[in-house]
């Protein structure tokens, strides 16, 4: 039986991905910062582990407890929407700590066992904003563009060991808690000088158009994990596929 470890399973894409792999008979190590007993329906193929991807001790404990892992899905991430002038450096550091360095640290932690077995797949959840730039997302986009560059270089150094690295690039998914979680961190509002731009950005999001659903992302993660011919960058969602064209 194959085992997948997924980060950020408390909600959104991570939670749906855990369900998806469980439904297909995999052993699932679903990790989250604060695991609750009701996070996922009980299964003898499911383990819930506490994991904060910004905490080296937490990473070490979770990866040790998980044991052999065939696929790592680096999904945990946080958002931020503001002009650069409205982005405190503490917020920029938090984005990179979670989205970029969290992904790097988790990957580094599982690689020795994958290299010894000469098998494994790393799936990194990035974003379609790295394909088509949008305003007010400069720092978030930078944190994910770094994940893209990291993954593409890593793939070259891991290929001799039979380990694959792939990117899933979701588009905008209003049905997850991502926006609300980001808003909770953005307590200081937007700088006055950017008010008009902010209004334009929000108005654009109200227009009907293609968006991404969690199912698009879970299917893309599944393909990245199981199909060796999957391209390096896999857009997930109608808007992401349009951005990639
Ligand atoms: N939704 C979108 O529009 C969208 C678009 C493109 C890409 N993405 C990316 O997709 C991924 C999942 O997003 P989502 O839409 O599913 O959002 P979500 O519902 O907010 O889920 C994010 C998950 O990341 C976890 N997380 C945050 N910081 C963490 C940390 N330090 N350690 C471990 N876990 C942490 C959260 O856990 P807690 O409950 O502990 O906070 C939560 O489980 C993210 O990487 C995001 O950047 C999302």
Specify the pLDDT at position 70. 98
Instruction: Provide the CATH number for the domain around residue 109.
Output: 3.40.50.720
Segment 141-157 mean pLDDT: 98
**In the predicted model, is pLDDT for residue 236 greater than 90?**
yes
Pocket lined around ligand 1, Cβ cut-off 6 Å: 7-8, 10-14, 32-33, 51-54, 75-79, 98, 102, 125, 127, 170, 172-173, 176-178, 181
Q: How confident is the model at residue 187 (pLDDT cuts 50, 70, 90)?
A: confident
Atom number of ligand 1 nearest to Cα 53: 32
Top mutation candidate among 5, 7, 12 for ligand 1, by most atoms within 8 Å of CB: 12
- Domain around 123: 3-244
Q: List the catalytic residue out of 20, 26, 80, 140.
A: 140
Which residue puts its alpha carbon closest to atom 1 of ligand 1? 173
Taking alpha carbons only, the member of 2, 18, 21, 20 closest to residue 10 is 18
Rounded Cα gap, residues 31 and 62, in angstroms: 8
Q: How confident is the model at residue 94 (pLDDT cuts 50, 70, 90)?
A: very high
SS3 43: coil
Specify the pLDDT at position 37. 82
Which residue puts its alpha carbon closest to atom 18 of ligand 1? 178
Rounded Cα gap, residues 28 and 221, in angstroms: 14
Q: Is residue 138 a contact partner of residue 179, using CB atoms and an 8 Å limit?
A: no
> Considering its fold, how many domains does the chain have in total?
1
Rounded Cα gap, residues 206 and 228, in angstroms: 38
Give tens-digit pLDDT for 208-222.
Answer: 999 999 999 999 999
What is the 77 CA–ligand 1 centroid distance (Å)?
A: 4
Active site residue 140: yes
Atom number of ligand 1 nearest to Cα 172: 3
């Amino acid at each position: 039986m194959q085992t997948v470890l997924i980060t950020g399973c408390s909600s959104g894409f991570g939670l749906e991905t855990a369900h998806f792999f469980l439904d297909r008979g995999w052993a699932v190590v679903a990790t989250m910062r604060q695991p609750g007993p009701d996070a996922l329906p009980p299964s003898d193929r499911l383990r819930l582990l506490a994991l904060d991807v910004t905490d080296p001790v937490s990473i070490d404990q979770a990866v040790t407890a998980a044991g052999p892992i065939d696929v790592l899905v680096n999904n945990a991430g946080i958002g931020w929407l503001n002009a650069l002038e409205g982005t405190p450096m503490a917020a920029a550091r938090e984005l990179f700590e979670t989205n970029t360095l969290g992904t790097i640290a988790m990957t580094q932690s599982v690689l020795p066992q994958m290299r010894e077995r000469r098998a494994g797949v790393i799936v990194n959840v990035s974003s379609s904003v790295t394909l088509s730039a949008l305003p007010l997302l400069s720092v978030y986009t930078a944190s994910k563009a770094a994940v893209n560059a990291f993954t593409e270089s890593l793939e070259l150094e891991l290929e001799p060991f039979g380990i694959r690295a792939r990117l899933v690039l979701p588009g905008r998914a209003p049905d997850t808690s991502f926006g609300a979680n980001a808003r909770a961190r953005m307590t200081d509002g937007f700088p006055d000088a950017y008010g008009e731009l902010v209004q334009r950005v929000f108005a654009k999001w109200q227009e009907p158009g293609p968006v991404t659903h969690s199912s698009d992302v879970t299917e893309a993660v599944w393909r990245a994990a199981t199909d060796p011919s999957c391209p390096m960058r896999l857009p997930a969602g109608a808007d992401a596929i349009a951005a990639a064209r």
